[in-house]
Structure formats: structure tokens, C-alpha cells
């Protein structure tokens, strides 16, 4: 009955409780809480927080393939399809660099913050996805990086944006251009100071550290 009479409060409390359960490693409670939100959530967007928590739980439980597959499904439901990407790392990195060629560093650093809640959650899923892909399917990671940067330029910077730029720097250096790779990593570190959060700043700093 509380879902009908106090929907917004119920959703917030269940989201927070699910996040606490994830932090405590209480997968059973997380499953119960998530099922409630999935059953009573009034929109797909209202379910994204618990879907993110369950995706993280799979990754933390050494079920990376399942976590990645679930993340890809959720992103597809949000209009971000990554399963059909076939281009090589070299081609994907070059496409991303071409996209950035029309922007100066100052323009990137002064891009407005992302405000669309659904886009912000999509970025969180992309940030989580790239970590898992780096471990078991690294050839697909550049496509996630590209999408993070595309969304950042189109819809504003989010706390996940620095992770995309840091990975781009890493790939660029891996392909032989150390100087340009370092440039993107420095840009990522500057973005952490501008738009980073406690939740995601560590990822950007870790990737961007020598």
C-alpha cells in the first residue's frame, strides 16, 4: 500500500536500502529490495538505480560475463546499442579523436554539466561496463569509451566523463602516441576536478595515474 500512497518516498528508501545492501555484500537483501522496485516502479527510469546495484553485485560476485550482459541489455533499453560494434581498436580510437578535434581543451573543460537523470544513469552503466570489459573482453572497451565521450559532448559532462578521456589516453599511448595519450590523461585529471564525484573520481585517477 505504501507504494501507492507514498510512491516517491518508497522509491527513495528502497533505492538507498539496496545501495546499503550492496555495500554490505548482502546479496539476498539486495535481491528482495530490487524485486520490489522492479515490480512497483512506475517507469523504467525509476528502476535504474536498483538495476545498477544488481549489475554491480554480479561484478562483485565474480560473475563478470553476466554483469556485462545485463549492462548491455539495460543500455540497449536506453537507446545505447553496443553489441553490434565491430570496428578495430585503432579505428574506434581514431573516430573518437576525430570527434574531439573540433573542440579545444577549454571548451571541453567548460562544457555544461549533464542534467538528464536517465543520461546520467546511462553514463554510470557505461563506466561500470568498461571496467568489466577491460578484464574479459578488452577489444570491446574502446567502443564504450567512444560512447562515453560522445554522450559527454552531446549532453554535458558527468562524473563518469573523465573515465572515458582517461581510457582514450591509455589506448592512444598503447597505439604508440605517448605524448597525445598523456594529453588526454591530463584532460581527464582536469575533468575530475571539475565534474568528478567520490563515487567515480577514483576510477579516473587510477586510470590516469602512471
pLDDT digits (tens, 9 = 90+) for 170-189: 999 999 999 999 999 999 99
Query: Is 23 a residue whose pLDDT tops 70?
Result: yes
Query: Is 202 a residue whose pLDDT tops 60?
Result: no
Can you give the pLDDT at residue 195? 83
Determine the straight-line distance between the first and last CA of the chain, rounded to whole angstroms.
54
Q: What is the pTM of this model?
A: 0.89
Can you give the pLDDT at residue 207? 56
DSSP state at residue 138:
G
Can you give the pLDDT at residue 198? 57
Please give the helix or strand (H or E) that residue 25 lies within, else none: none
> Regarding predicted confidence, which is higher, 114 or 198?
114
CA 180/CA 170 separation, integer angstroms: 10
CB atoms within 10 A of CB 3: 16
Query: Is 206 a residue whose pLDDT tops 60?
Result: no
Helical axes 117-136 vs 161-174, angle rounded to 10°:
30
User: What's the whole-number mean pLDDT along residues 41-58?
Assistant: 96
Query: Is 86 a residue whose pLDDT tops 90?
Result: no
DSSP state at residue 42:
S
Query: Is 51 a residue whose pLDDT tops 70?
Result: yes
Instruction: Identify the CA nearest to 186 among candidates 105, 126, 101.
Output: 105
Looking at every residue in the chain, the average pLDDT score rounds to 91
Amino acid at each position: 500500500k505504501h507504494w501507492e500512497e507514498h510512491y516517491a518516498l518508497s522509491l527513495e528508501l528502497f533505492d538507498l536500502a539496496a545501495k546499503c545492501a550492496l555495500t554490505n555484500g548482502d546479496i539476498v537483501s539486495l535481491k528482495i529490495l530490487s524485486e520490489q522496485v522492479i515490480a512497483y516502479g512506475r517507469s523504467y527510469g525509476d528502476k535504474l538505480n536498483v538495476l545498477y546495484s544488481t549489475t554491480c553485485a554480479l561484478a562483485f560476485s565474480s560473475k563478470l560475463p553476466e554483469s556485462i550482459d545485463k549492462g548491455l541489455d539495460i543500455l540497449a533499453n536506453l537507446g545505447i546499442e553496443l553489441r553490434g560494434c565491430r570496428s578495430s581498436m585503432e579505428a574506434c580510437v581514431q573516430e573518437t579523436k576525430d570527434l574531439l578535434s573540433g573542440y579545444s581543451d577549454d571548451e571541453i573543460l567548460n562544457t555544461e554539466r549533464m542534467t538528464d537523470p536517465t543520461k546520467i544513469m546511462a553514463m554510470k552503466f557505461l563506466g561500470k561496463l568498461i571496467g568489466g570489459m577491460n578484464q574479459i573482453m578488452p577489444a570491446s572497451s574502446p567502443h564504450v569509451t567512444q560512447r562515453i565521450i560522445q554522450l559527454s559532448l552531446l549532453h554535458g559532462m558527468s562524473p563518469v566523463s573523465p573515465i572515458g578521456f582517461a581510457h582514450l589516453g591509455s589506448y592512444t599511448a598503447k597505439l604508440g602516441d605517448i605524448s597525445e595519450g598523456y594529453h588526454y590523461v591530463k584532460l581527464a585529471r582536469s575533468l575530475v576536478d571539475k565534474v568528478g564525484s567520490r563515487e567515480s573520481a577514483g576510477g579516473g585517477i587510477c586510470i590516469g595515474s602512471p
